[in-house]
């Protein structure tokens, strides 16, 4: 199985973000999207997710354009975006439970608590997210990586506003995902310290 981008060209506000971009990631591989601020890293991830449509070229999943079977594609996709998708007036548990049902996955309260413990939020299950710090909200969002099963991870700056322990923990989780044949694409300003070869995709002119 693989994710492929063929000749991706995108311009926004009359500015070429990238032109004829090609990439491919297969089982157990990780690809890091590099580029300066405003080079279109987030836009590329949103294109791969099928959220952004104003581009030319093809995104293929298992050799077929993602629009052919979009529901089947997103079923295997986990996207952690810039904005967390975390509601301030819900508790971490309520947030994760709804996000899991969006992903069409049955999770028990125990699963959620375990995932929260993994990201160091043990004991925060019932606190409203509005009273959590930015880093903690980010962790709620990242807890989905421990909770929801998906083959393809698309992570937008997963390490931002996370402390050293959190980063280490996340790296271990990414390693395990890759060991299990998962695919990861991420944007990050910092280098990853994992036991897999990290390929790079450089954006910008």
Query: Is residue 101 a contact point for other proteins (CB under 8 A)?
Result: yes
Candidate residues 17, 30, 31, 99; the one interacting with other proteins per rule CB under 8 A: 99
Considering beta carbons, is residue 38 or 72 the nearer one to other proteins?
Answer: 72
Evaluate whether 196 touches 172 at the Cβ level (below 8 Å).
Answer: no
Interaction between residue 191 and other proteins (CB under 8 A): no
Asked if 133 touches other proteins (CB under 8 A), the answer is no
Question: By rule CB under 8 A, what string of x and - marks binding of each residue 12-51 to other proteins?
Answer: ----------------------------------x--xxx
Closest CB to other proteins among 101 and 190?
A: 101
Phi-psi region at 194: left, alpha or beta (left = phi > 0; alpha = psi -120 to 50): beta
Which member of 74, 107, 185, 186 binds other proteins (CB under 8 A)? 74
Task: Kindly list the strands in the beta sheet with 56-61, ordered across the sheet, starting from the edge strand earlier in the chain.
Answer: 15-26, 2-12, 56-61, 64-65
Does 128 interact with other proteins (rule: CB under 8 A)?
yes
Asked if residue 90 binds other proteins (CB under 8 A), the reply is yes
The yes or no reply on residue 1 touching other proteins (CB under 8 A) is: no
Please report how close the Cβ of residue 77 comes to other proteins at its closest, in angstroms.
6
List interacting residues with other proteins (CB under 8 A): 46, 49-54, 71-72, 74-75, 77, 79, 81-90, 94, 97-99, 101-104, 128
């Amino acid at each position: 199985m693989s994710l492929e981008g063929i000749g991706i060209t995108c311009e926004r506000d009359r500015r070429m973000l990238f032109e004829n971009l090609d990439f491919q990631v297969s089982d157990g591989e990780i690809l890091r999207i590099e580029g300066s601020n405003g080079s279109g890293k987030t836009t590329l991830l949103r294109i791969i997710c099928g959220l952004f449509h104003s581009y030319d070229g093809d995104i293929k999943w298992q050799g077929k354009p993602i629009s052919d079977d979009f529901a089947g594609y997103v079923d295997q996709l986990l996207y952690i975006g810039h904005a967390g998708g975390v509601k301030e007036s819900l508790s971490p548990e309520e947030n994760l439970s709804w996000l899991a049902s969006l992903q069409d996955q049955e999770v028990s309260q125990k699963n959620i608590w375990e995932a929260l413990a993994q990201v160091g939020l043990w004991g925060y299950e019932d606190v409203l997210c509005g009273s959590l710090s930015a880093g903690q909200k980010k962790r709620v969002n990242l807890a989905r990586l421990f909770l929801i099963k998906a083959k393809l991870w698309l992570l937008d700056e997963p390490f931002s506003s996370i402390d050293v322990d959190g980063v280490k923990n996340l790296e271990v989780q990414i390693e395990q995902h890759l060991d299990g044949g998962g695919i990861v694409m991420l944007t990050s300003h910092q280098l990853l310290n994992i036991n897999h070869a990290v390929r790079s995709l450089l954006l910008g002119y």
